[in-house]
Amino acid sequence: MADRGEKIASGTRSTPIPSTSIIYIARTSTDTKEPQTLVHDLWTLRLQHLQHRVPHDDSETEAETHSQFYSSQSEPETSASESTYRKTRARSASHPSKQQHSANTLNLLDTLTLCYTGLLLLREPITIGQIQHWCQDGGLLYYRAWREVPLSMRERLPAAYQELLEPQPFSRPERLHDAVLRSLKTMHAEIGMVFPAVNHVLISYRWVRELALPIEVFAATERLARVLGMGFTFTLEYKVGEKGVLLRYPEVRLMALLIVVVKLLFPLDEVARHPVSAVDVSALAMDWRAWAEKEVEPRTQEDRAPEALGYAGLMGMGQHDVLDLDGDHLDQYMDWFEENIASEEVRERGRAGRDADFRRTLFKYFPVHRTERALVSNECVEDAMTDRLRRAQTLLVPNRIVGAADESRNEEVINRMGSFYKRDRTPGDLTGFTSVLYTRCSGLVGCSVEGMVKGVSLIEGLVQKDEEKRRKEGS
Tens of pLDDT, residue by residue over 363-396, are 666 665 555 555 555 566 667 777 777 777 777 8
Q: Which amino acid, one-letter code, is at 73?
A: Q
Provide the pLDDT for residue 450: 93
Q: What is the DSSP string of 280-307?
A: STTSEEE-HHHHIIIIIHHHHHHHHTTT
Provide the pLDDT for residue 92: 43
Provide the pLDDT for residue 448: 92
Query: Whose CA is closest to 437, among 286, 225, 333?
Result: 286
Provide the pLDDT for residue 325: 81
Nearby residues of 346 by Cβ (< 8 Å), 6 or more positions away: 356, 359, 360, 363
User: CA–CA separation, 217 vs 221, rounded Å?
Assistant: 6
User: CA–CA separation, 200 vs 377, rounded Å?
Assistant: 23
Q: Which amino acid, one-letter code, is at 275?
A: P
Distances from the Cα of 442 to the Cα of 64, 130, 210, angstroms: 54, 12, 13
DSSP letter (8 states) at residue 165: T
Torsion of CA 266, 268, 274, 276, to 10 degrees: -30
Provide the pLDDT for residue 327: 77
Provide the pLDDT for residue 271: 75
Provide the pLDDT for residue 86: 46
User: CA–CA separation, 354 vs 347, rounded Å?
Assistant: 9
- pLDDT tens readout for residues 212-223: 898 889 999 999
List the chain residues with pLDDT less than 70: 1-33, 50-105, 239-243, 294-312, 315, 336, 338-356, 358-360, 362-382, 403-413, 415, 475
User: CA–CA separation, 448 vs 374, rounded Å?
Assistant: 29
Provide the pLDDT for residue 458: 93
In the chain the first and final C-alpha atoms are separated, in Å, by 76
User: CA–CA separation, 106 vs 49, rounded Å?
Assistant: 11
3-state secondary structure (DSSP) of residue 32: coil
CB-based contacts of 45-54 (< 8 A; 24+ apart in sequence): 45/187, 45/191, 46/106, 46/110, 46/114, 47/10, 47/11, 47/12, 47/106, 48/12, 49/190, 49/191, 50/10, 50/104, 50/105, 50/106, 51/10, 53/104, 54/6, 54/10, 54/104
Helices (H), 191-342: 200-210, 216-227, 250-265, 288-291, 297-304, 311-315, 319-323, 327-340
Instruction: Catalogue the E-assigned strands of 110-239.
Output: none
Provide the pLDDT for residue 157: 81
